[in-house]
Amino acid sequence: MTSNLLTDTPRPTVAAPALRTKAELRSALEAPRRAGQTIGLVPTMGFLHEGHLSLIRAARAECDLVVMSLFVNPTQFGPGEDLDRYPRDEERDLRLAAEAGADLVFAPPVDEVYAADAATAVEVSGPLTGVLDGDAARRGPEHFRGVTTVVAKLFNLVAPGVAYFGQKDAQQAVVIRRMVRDLDFPVRIEVMPTVREPDGLAMSSRNAYLQPADRERATALSRALAAAERGARAGSLADGIAAARAELAAAGVEPEYLEARDAETLEPVSRLGDRPVLVALAARVGAARLIDNVLIDPDNPSTSDT
C-alpha cells in the first residue's frame, strides 16, 4: 500500500500558548514591547465562533503581536445569570485562536484577576450604562461596571495599541469608547461588524443554549432588525419598529426591549435625522437571552451588517 503523505502525516495541532498569570503575561510582552511592536488585544469570554475569529483576524492584519484574552468575567454576570453554565472549551479555543492568528492567549483564573479584597471599579455613569441592557430591570449598570473594570485592567496589563470589539455588543462598544476617551487610555478601539450564521442569526457563544425549535425561532431577531431598517428607510422609524415587532410576534418572540437610539449617545430617537441610529433588541428565546442590533446610517445605506 502506498502511503499518502497528506492524510497519513498527523497535522501538528497548533495551539496558542495560554498564559495563566499576570507575571507570565508581562514577561511575554516585554521583548515585543521593547522592540516597538504594535500590540493588538482581543478580549473574549471564550467558546470561540467566527465573530471572535473575525476580531483576531483583523488584529492579525494590523498588528505585530496579537493577544487574545479568554476570561469569563464573573463581575459582569448578575446573581440570576448564566455564569455557572456559560459554555467553555479551552482546548478548542486555543487551537482556533492560533489558527486565526493569535500569538498569545491570556487565560487567567479568577483569583489571578481579582484580589479577594479588590475595592476599585471603573464605571461609566449616566445614560450610556443605564439604558437598554443597563436598565435596572434588565442586566443593570452593574453589568457594564464589570465590563469596564475588567477591560481597563486588560488595557493596563497588555497596554495594546489597538483593541478589537464586536458591533454585536453595540452598547458595550459605546461604553468602552467613552471610558477610553474619559480616562485617556492610549488605545485605539476598533469595532468590527457582526458576523452572522447563513440564516441571519448573530453568532454568540450563548447560541449553544438553543434547542432546535428555539434555534429556528431565534432567526426572528435578525429578520426583525432587517424589517426595522427597511421600514425606517422607506417610511419612518416608527414604521420600522412596528414591522420589527410584527416579525417577532409572528415567531412568538417577546422582546425585552426593541428600541431606536442615537448610536453614540444612546439617547432615544423617534425619527431618522442626520446621525446614525442604533436599533437594539434583546429577547429571551428558550434558554438563551439573545441580543442583536442594526446600525442605520443615513449617510450610508450599506453600512449595516452583512
Q: Which of 174, 167, 245 is nearest to 202 (CA)?
A: 167
**Can you read off the three cell numbers belonging to residue 26?**
508581562
**Rule CB under 6 A: is residue 194 a binding residue for ligand AMP?**
yes
**Interacting span for ligand AMP (CB under 6 A) from 47-55, 91-99, 131-139, 257-265:** 47-55
Of 174 and 243, nearer to ligand AMP (C-beta) is: 174
Could you identify the residue written with the cell 426593541? Answer: 258
Is 143 assigned a catalytic role?
no
Binding range to ligand AMP, per CB under 6 A, among 79-87, 203-211, 217-225, 242-250: 203-211
- Would you say 140 or 200 has its CB closer to ligand AMP? 200
User: By CB under 6 A, is residue 149 in contact with ligand AMP?
Assistant: no
The dihedrals phi and psi of 125, each to the nearest 5 degrees, come to -95, 170
Q: Is 290 in the site for ligand AMP (CB under 6 A)?
A: no
CB 107 within 8 A of CB 72: no
Q: Does 44 bind ligand AMP (CB under 6 A)?
A: yes
B/e letters for 171-193, b = 16+ CB within 10 Å, e = fewer, are bbbbbbbbbbeeeebebebbbbb
Among 166, 231, 240, 255, binds ligand AMP (CB under 6 A): 166
Q: What is the rounded CA–CA span in Å between residue 200 and residue 178?
A: 29
- The DSSP output letter for 16 is P
Of 29, 105, 202, 225, the one binding ligand AMP (CB under 6 A) is: 202
Hey, what's the cell of 65? 503581536
Q: Which of 15, 41, 52, 178 is catalytic?
A: 52
Q: What is the dihedral of CA 101, 106, 110, 114, to 10 degrees?
A: -130
DSSP state of 24: H
For the bound state, the minimum distance from the C-beta of residue 52 to ligand AMP, rounded and expressed in Å, comes to: 5
192 touching ligand AMP, by CB under 6 A: yes
207 binds ligand AMP (CB under 6 A): no
Tell me the number of residues near ligand AMP by CB under 6 A: 17
Q: Which stretch binds ligand AMP (CB under 6 A): 160-168, 223-231, 256-264, 278-286?
A: 160-168
Any contact of residue 289 with ligand AMP (CB under 6 A)?
no
CA distance 156 to 174: 20
Is residue 199 within a helix (H) or strand (E), and if so which, with residue range?
A: none
Give the residue numbers marked as catalytic. Answer: 52
Q: Give the footprint of ligand AMP on this chain (CB under 6 A).
A: 44-45, 51-52, 54-55, 165-166, 168-169, 192, 194-195, 202-205
